[in-house]
Amino acid sequence: MNNLSHRIAIIGAGLGGLTLAKILQNAGYTPVIYEGEASRHVRPQGGTLDLETHTGQRALKIAGLLDLFYEVCRFEGQSSKTVDKNGKIYHEDRDVLPTAEGGSRPEVDRTELRNLLLDSLQSDTILWGHTCTGAVPIDNTKYELHFENGHTDVVDLIIAADGAFSRIRPLVSDEKAKYSGISMVELNITNAEELFPELVAYNGPGTVYALSDYKTIIAQMNGDGRIRIYLGFKAEANFLETLELSNNEPEIAKQTLLNLYSDWSDELKQYIICANEEITPRRIYMLPVAHKWENKKGVTLIGDAAHLMSPFAGAGANLAMLDGAELALSIINTDNQETAIREYEKKMFDYAAKASKETKENMDLFFSEDAAAKLGALMNSFKE
């Protein structure tokens, strides 16, 4: 049996699973994607991502979608500024040229990127509303997948693209996603240009990193005119519960947050004061740096399922897409499925280990003494 006739199930229609499916489909494969959510519209997909040339953009190129991406991405979104709690600037990069040349990291709204991938697939590729509960091996040659809705399926290859709390990961690894020591609160300022032009002028078209006292305010201008803000805290795992944000009126919740930034500059406090949408607490989880497993026939992992890391190097989505592309290429170009998986894992373990190490170092830097000066120096070093 050659690979083309193998029955391949991808669990999860995130950026990793969709990229993988698209490249396999281009080569004549017919993978099925099982997605737990009922449709693409169930959940807002979150903020903006910057796609790197050698990871996210490379994956889109292999998928034949790079030109479509260039139509929706924002090159000016790459601009950034690093300040401390007093507003002192340590690094600023406002004049990023609108170019598709090498080394660029253009921004794209997550929903737009996911829609681009979803729209590129054959219409019957995704079975929505199928939450996978696990899989059991059959005769050491196949797997039977189980779903919350009672559905079952027997497949030759399972690819887990089901994110941080993967239901498939236990088939190959005992590791679980653990609290990273960092908690975040997401705020949004919608219609910012019209309502708060001064804040928009301060922010610029990209990202502001304000770091001090083991806390952050990271503010990103999004393509739909909103500023999305991540307040970050080095804190115990129960920190967000102690704030009781969801039990209180938004204005009381905002006051609770403002109290945590009472000695920050008035300009930076505006990011909290002007917030006008839902307040979302997020605990940040990670897998151990350089997570790997022994190769196992008929199953592998991509994206967060394989190497969940904190967002402090902007690597997770980029790597999920690269994994999808590398695995697809390996399956397409190798006659033997076991060899294909082995070769993908070998390559991925190597680049994911480097990225997860760098991400952990960045996370430690963001929440360290004199963090703004250190990040500013790092950002300036990239320009040299």
Ligand X SMILES: Cc1cc2nc3c(=O)[nH]c(=O)nc-3n(C[C@H](O)[C@H](O)[C@H](O)COP(=O)(O)OP(=O)(O)OC[C@H]3O[C@@H](n4cnc5c(N)ncnc54)[C@H](O)[C@@H]3O)c2cc1C
Q: Catalog residues that contact ligand X under the rule CB under 6 A.
A: 11-17, 34-37, 49, 131-132, 161-163, 167, 230, 282, 303-304, 311, 314-318, 320
Task: Name the nearest CA neighbour of 68 among 111, 19, 123, 117.
Answer: 117
Tell the smallest beta-carbon distance from residue 335 to ligand X (Å): 27
Upper half-sphere CA count for residue 379 (Cβ side, 13 Å): 24
Tell the smallest beta-carbon distance from residue 8 to ligand X (Å): 15
The single residue listed with the structure tokens 């990202």 is: 207
Task: Name the nearest CA neighbour of 323 among 106, 173, 161.
Answer: 161
Tell the smallest beta-carbon distance from residue 42 to ligand X (Å): 8
Cα–Cα distance between 159 and 211 in angstroms, integer?
Answer: 38
The tokens describing 304, both together, are 């967060």
Buried b (16+ CB within 10 A) or exposed e, 263-289: ebbebbbbbbebbbeebebbbbbbbeb
Cα–Cα distance between 370 and 358 in angstroms, integer?
Answer: 19
> For the chain, percent helix, then strand, then coil, each to nearest 5?
40, 25, 40
Task: Name the nearest CA neighbour of 356 among 295, 308, 322.
Answer: 308
Do 189 and 229 contact (CB within 8 A), yes or no?
A: yes
Cα–Cα distance between 233 and 346 in angstroms, integer?
Answer: 35
Cα–Cα distance between 160 and 293 in angstroms, integer?
Answer: 14
Q: Which is nearer to ligand X, 84 or 186 (CB)?
A: 186
Residue 105 annotated as binding?
no
Tell the smallest beta-carbon distance from residue 315 to ligand X (Å): 5
Q: Which is nearer to ligand X, 129 or 137 (CB)?
A: 129
Cα–Cα distance between 22 and 11 in angstroms, integer?
Answer: 14
Q: Which is nearer to ligand X, 168 or 199 (CB)?
A: 168
- Main-chain phi, psi angles of 280, to 5 degrees: -115, 110
Tell the smallest beta-carbon distance from residue 117 to ligand X (Å): 10
Q: Which is nearer to ligand X, 34 or 271 (CB)?
A: 34
Residue 74 annotated as binding?
no
The tokens describing 92, both together, are 């600023």
Q: Which is nearer to ligand X, 34 or 366 (CB)?
A: 34
- The bridge status of strand 48-50 relative to strand 207-212 is unpaired
Tell the smallest beta-carbon distance from residue 102 to ligand X (Å): 18
Q: Which is nearer to ligand X, 15 or 375 (CB)?
A: 15
Tell the smallest beta-carbon distance from residue 313 to ligand X (Å): 8
Cα–Cα distance between 23 and 330 in angstroms, integer?
Answer: 11
Residue 282 annotated as binding?
no
Cα–Cα distance between 56 and 110 in angstroms, integer?
Answer: 12
Q: Which is nearer to ligand X, 302 or 329 (CB)?
A: 302
Tell the smallest beta-carbon distance from residue 188 to ligand X (Å): 12
Q: Which is nearer to ligand X, 148 or 236 (CB)?
A: 148
Mark the binding-site residues for NADPH, compressed into ranges.
43
Mark the binding-site residues for FAD, compressed into ranges.
50, 110, 304
Mark the binding-site residues, compressed into ranges.
43, 50, 110, 304
